[in-house]
Amino acid sequence: MAELTDDDLWRLYRQGEVEAFEALFCRHHTAVYQFARTILGRADQSEDVLQETFLALTRHADGYQPRGNFRGFILRIARNQCLNRIAARKAQRLALSQTGLEWIEPDSPEPHPPELAERNEDLAWIKAAVNELPHDQRQAIALLVYEQMSYPQIAELLEIPLGTVKNLIHRARARLAEQWRRTHQEK
């Protein structure tokens, strides 16, 4: 089915070909998981988002109108799933703070220890640094670098003006550059 477009696969799936769903899953699961991982940090919640995103496709099969942007559609579902989880975390934290108990989970994602397989030190560094960007900058950068989306595509997916996208990316890169200098001057 390699030569079929996403929209072809989607139509086949809607006509009862379950293999077409598997083909769509194969094509897009890495992007969904990477996006969730970058936005949420936590592996367990990213797994939930991956699962819920594809489940949503089976539940609301009428939701997608085949217009050649299946990836954008599915990433939008994933993004909403992520936002729900972030909102839940905030609510949990608020509830706890009202009881006078301390919140133990950090707001920023868990720092990723550089993996053993990660030979390249710079690459490990940038990945960890991206994961520590403020939420809105992180979303924009994740779509830019992992999805290689254009600024207009990012604006459409995040439903924000183009100027805001540029602004977020410039701020994110500036922040990363300043961090890079601090880390590398210490050495």
Partner 1 sequence: MTCPTTEAWAAWLDGAVPSPGREELAQHAAHCPLCQATLQSLRQVDSSLARLRPQPVPADVLMRVRQSLSPAAGHTGWPQIMTLEEVGRFMQLDDRQLDEIVEDLPAFELAGQIRVRYARLLEWIAQREREFTHQRTGSWVGRPTIGRDASSYSLKFESA
* Cβ partners under 8 Å of residue 38, min gap 6: 130, 131, 138, 139, 141, 142, 146
Q: Which stretch binds partner 1 (CB under 8 A): 27-35, 72-80, 90-98, 131-139?
A: 27-35
User: Exactly one of 1, 7, 8, 14 binds partner 1 (CB under 8 A); which one?
Assistant: 14
Q: Which stretch binds partner 1 (CB under 8 A): 44-52, 68-76, 89-97, 131-139?
A: 44-52
Minimal CA–CA distance to 28: which of 62, 77, 65? 77
Distance CA 68, CA 62 (A): 15
| Contact status: 26 vs partner 1 (CB under 8 A) | yes
What is the smallest separation between the CB atom of 176 and partner 1, expressed in angstroms? 5
Q: Which stretch binds partner 1 (CB under 8 A): 15-23, 77-85, 132-140, 153-161?
A: 15-23
Distance CA 113, CA 144 (A): 23
Q: In this structure, which amino acid lies at residue 149?
A: M
User: Exactly one of 9, 21, 45, 109 binds partner 1 (CB under 8 A); which one?
Assistant: 21
Are 10 and 66 within 8 A, CB to CB?
A: yes
- HEC letters along 47-91: HHHHHHHHHHHHHCCCCCCCCCCHHHHHHHHHHHHHHHHHHHHHH
| Contact status: 93 vs partner 1 (CB under 8 A) | no
Using CB under 8 A as the binding rule, the residues of this chain from 46 to 65 that contact partner 1 are 47, 50-51, 54-55, 57-62
**Residue number with CB closer to partner 1 (130 or 158):** 130
Q: Footprint of partner 1 on this chain (CB under 8 A)? A: 13-19, 21-22, 25-26, 29-31, 33-34, 37, 43, 47, 50-51, 54-55, 57-62, 120, 122-123, 125-127, 130, 141, 144-146, 166, 169-171, 173-178, 180-181, 184
